[in-house]
Structure 1
Amino acid sequence: MHPTDSPVAGPRLDPPVAMFSGPGHQDTLWSDVKGSVAHSKMIRWAGGTAATHAIIKVSGAAEVRTRLFELHFSWNSGVAEAEAKSGKRFWAYKNRPRYGLVLPPGTGVEFRIQEKSNYRFLAMEFEPAYLLRVAELGHLNALEFIETWEYDDRLTWHLAEAIFEECESEARQGLLYSETAVTLLALQAARNLSNHASQVRLLRRGGLPPAILRRACEYMVSRLDDDISLSEIASAIGLSPGHFAFAFKQSMGIAPHAWLRRHRIDTAKALLRNRDLSVSVIAASVGFANQSSFGAAFRKETGQTPTAWRRLRWL
């Protein structure tokens, strides 16, 4: 998963960036949207993109057509007055605290915004092959989704919040955390909103067999200094990302990213006892992109900063 920071500001906005998904896989048929954006950020993985936008204020109208499967989430803390039309269906929404859309490929939507201000927006796009892979439906040629407005599934929103925060922090918790959240969100959508929902049974399975669990843990330990992805681990043990993520938690009681973070911090503790190693060197040696990310993870596991923990051991 790769973060990209794309600040967008000014009197006029590109609708795919400011209003819709940002990654740019829609056709904008026409637009007359004006306003300003505080910032926009994006993360990418092998199979899709997620973009976040902090919107100051926008108004106007646009018509778009999606090319890929898209999920849109917005959290409103200001004014939100807008209308949307898709086919013969019409929606009007005013000052709702949050709003979710599920848009299959080829969906044409007309948006008319009286005013939207002070809101956060997350838009995600998924490649068809990625959705089939995570749902273990590789034998199918396609997976069809139901167009849904006002989507309010609790787990989906929880995962969307996590993905939003990862975009905003430039994937501070690493590939494994980000891709796990994305994979589980894709699975949830496939289970609830696809034409093959009954075949997506991953969330009903048990844990991993002991031999496969051991291989997964050994693989993660062998890549301790890398920003390893969920797909890489799953591929190494011959499972789909979705199956591995869920079954690992069933077996260990915690998600793969949490297990790996704990192991990294335990290793870091041993290294911190060596006075000759700087905190930045230790952070890199246990797989963190920078000292800030390492400090946040260390504090989450121990309640202390690495420097404070080290100081107490040197007294």
Structure 2
Amino acid sequence: MPQIINPSDVQYSVLLETVAGTTPTTGSRYLLPVAANQNPIAFSSADVVSNTKRPNGAKNGLQRGPKSGTGTINMPMMFSPVYSQLLEGALRGKFTTTGTKTLKPGTTDSTFSVLQLLKPGAAGSAILSTAKGSAVTKATISAEAGSAVNVAFDFLSSAEDQLQTDSALVPTDVLSTAYEFTGADVNSLNIAGNMTVYWKSLSLEFGQPRNNRYVLGTNVSVGNAPSDQRDVKLTIRVYRDDTWVIDTLLTGQRQAFSFNVGTAGAGYGFFIFGHASIPQTELDSESAYVNIEVSGAYDGTGGGDIYITQL
């Protein structure tokens, strides 16, 4: 009798590809600390539907068209090499290796093989789905007072392998001593130079829109590539106090915003340049808040609209 897959047994891991679309046989394979209800990257095709008329009012079906994979990996925010790799993928850059390790946006693409092991076992009995040529299209970091800090990475994948043999590379797990950040670990909050305002929550989104490239003669993508400008959006919710500090502070011109998650040696700093929309006051049964939305804008001194450091 077939064995039903237990979602809590499914393992997700990633491999940084050296050749886009080819799963490496060497290198570091990192396990991802995902939730039990994490869904695999889903592949679908742009089906070519026939409009041919057949006898007795029948249609003539469809043919499968170009194939593409999309999905989101949701994880608790932690400080680990695999997180750094995925952040690099989102900004198309690399952390510097000397001094303050800094990641700035660039034009160097990173692609990954996302391995989804539904069933471990010996060769011929395992069930492994591999999403190849996977690029990060967006990263979203969200934090709220009294809750966990979470990160979500959206992927666009070019091809899929369905295998009965697991990768020979032994996966490296996130260290058991690695810390899952909470709202209490978000610090050094800076709104256009002001560090005295009380933040309730934040959401930072950044990434590079991409699409798969298809050619005649095959339904398999030849890879994916950037298709538009990078999007950076910072949403902040602060408490409304008895002054107009926030309203007068935000000029609508390009200003700097920043926050840290974690501490020295075990965390990240996020620095955003952008234009803030007019702050909006919101009231509920608990308190009064001010909602701020910042749209990323290029800053010549910072070298972009966002950069990230390792603390």
TM-score by length of 1: 0.24
TM-score, normalization by structure 2: 0.25
Q: Which has the larger radius of gyration?
A: 2
Structure that is richer in helix per residue = 1
1 or 2 for the larger relative contact order (CA 8 Å, sep ≥6)?
2
